[in-house]
A and B are shown apart, each in its own frame.
Chain A
Amino acid sequence: MSRAALLVLADGRFPAGGHAHSGGAEAAVKAGRVTGAASLEDFCRGRLHTAGRVAAALAAAAVLGVDPVELDAAADARTPSPALRTAARKLGRQLTRAARATWPSDELDALAREFPKGAHQPVVLGLTARAAGLGAVDAAYCAAYESVSGPASATVRLLSLDPFEATGVLARLAPELDRVADRAVEDARCVVDEGADALPAASAPLLEIGAEVHAGWGVRLFAS
């Protein structure tokens, strides 16, 4: 295993389509819930402990070899908003492409055949980490970090927020990211023994509602 592969995968410039998505930040900005660094931090903290936690556990479970089809169904069940399911599958498909070109593997080929229109992104992320020779905790870190880095960089563009302030938000969340990643690995180990029902099901209703509202807008900067 090369630890540096984690840097490649977690790099915001990894070409897997994330730049076009705001992780709910665009809807929250428009609704007046995110107006600056402080409210961005609240938003990111909420997303980390809900969607981020679930994504991290899904990704870690995929690394541990849990059936991706089972995990994908579990991700669907934990994503009430159809718009968010569509976005997650779109991003999953785009990550599948980037991953297969970057770390060719039979498992990723099989995933592409099973889900030609994309599996949920965290599941693909886990299989990508596996193909890259990374461990469950690495995948959990990537998923948890993406759950907050996406909204932070989107908010820089949406509010012209000072980029140093946005990065400061991410740095302050780092200790919580550690805890979420560790817990996700524990959850994933339970999934190996007990099945996908052991996955966390934390959810943020406002993220789901915001995503549905956002999908109906005629004018927007981000795809989700």
Chain B
Amino acid sequence: MHLDHSHDGPAAVSADARRADGSRRALRIGLGGPVGSGKTATVAALCRALREELSLAVVTNDIYTREDAEFLLREAVLPPERITAVETGACPHTAIRDDISANLEAVEDLEDEVGPLDLILVESGGDNLTATFSKGLVDAQIFVIDVAGGDDIPRKGGPGVTTADLLVVNKTDLAPYVGSDLGRMAADAKAQRAELPVVFQSLRSEPGVSDVAAWVRTRLAAWTA
């Protein structure tokens, strides 16, 4: 018995950048953050922004329904065969971090069935501020919070806010109504994240998701370089 990875056949470890046939697999980007912050809305907007230029697919991790997947289907952001829902047994953070098997199966099936794919977006079921994606599942992660959840969230930090490759502060259109101080949120985020990027966006007005879409394009260019 030996514990190296010298075995042939389909890749045993799914972080491998190559698929069983030697081709490069799709870039996988995770979207995490509290329930209701705008993950599904951001996924939908990204699909609309990128679907003409990229071959993409989405995996949702609903907590107890298929609601996110069904929203995306209803909005027809992608053809139905490009959207898969994973069930998480009441533990959304487990499915993206501690036991990623069902999500890995979903991304591999999508690549097999509708590939080749450039990009797969994996939306977390939504959880608390400590939930982050395993590096075995995604190549980069976006943490989505919103201004209505309280403008002290960036100051509180936590693994999502502090370490995500991109922090998105969503629903800036609501800031005046909920009394959130965007300047303070930006300063706190900067203090927590140093050089890591932060995007403030409102999906209710122009330019919508375009900063996040530009960040995704940059990641993809680096992945395929």
Q: Does A135 reach chain B (CB closer than 8 Å)?
A: no
How many inter-chain contacts with C-beta < 8 Å in the A-B complex? 93
CB within 8 Å of A: which of B46-93?
A: 63-66, 86-91
- Tell whether, in the assembled complex, residue B99 and residue A19 are in contact, meaning their CB atoms are under 8 Å apart: yes
Q: Is the CB of A21 within 8 A of B100?
A: no
Chain B positions 71-130 with a Cβ under 8 Å from a chain A Cβ: 86-91, 94-95, 98-102, 104-105
Contact A98 B3 (CB under 8 A): no
> Given the complex of chains A and B, what is the CA–CA distance between A21 and B101 in angstroms?
13
- Residue A17 interfacial (CB < 8 Å): yes
> Taking A20-B87, A219-B64 as contacts, is the C-beta distance between A13 and B101 under 8 angstroms?
no
Q: 1/0 contact trace for A102-129 toward B, CB 8 Å?
A: 1111100100110010000000000000
Chain B residues within 8 Å of A, Cβ to Cβ: 1-10, 12-14, 63-66, 86-91, 94-95, 98-102, 104-105
Q: Which chain A positions have C-beta within 8 A of B14?
A: 97
State in angstroms the CA–CA spacing of A22 and B37 once bound together: 29
Q: Is A49 an interface residue (CB 8 A)?
A: no
Beyond A219-B65, A221-B90, A223-B89, whether A106 also contacts B7 by CB under 8 A is yes
Known contacts A104-B12, A218-B66; is-contact A157 B90 (Cβ 8 Å)? yes
Report A's interface with B, CB cutoff 8 A. Answer: 13, 15-22, 90, 93-94, 97-98, 100-106, 109, 112-113, 116, 131-133, 154, 157-158, 218-223
Inside 8 A of B12's CB, which chain A residues have their CB?
A: 97, 100-101, 104, 109, 112
Q: B4 to A104, Cβ gap below 8 A?
A: yes
Q: Could you tell me the distance in whole angstroms from the C-beta of B31 to the nearest C-beta in chain A?
A: 20
Chain B interface secondary structure, helix, strand, loop or mixed?
loop
Q: Shortest distance in angstroms between B14's beta carbon and chain A's nearest beta carbon?
A: 7
Q: Are A20 and B3 in contact (CB under 8 A)?
A: no
The answer on a CB contact under 8 Å between B7 and A20 is no
Chain B residues with Cβ below 8 Å from A221 are 63-64, 89-90
Q: Give the distance to chain B from A98, nearest Cβ to Cβ, in Å.
A: 6
| Residues of B contacting A158 in the complex (Cβ-Cβ under 8 angstroms) | 90
Q: A104-B4, A133-B1, A218-B65 are in contact. List 5 more A-B contacts (CB 8 A).
A: A19-B94, A19-B95, A97-B105, A113-B9, A157-B90
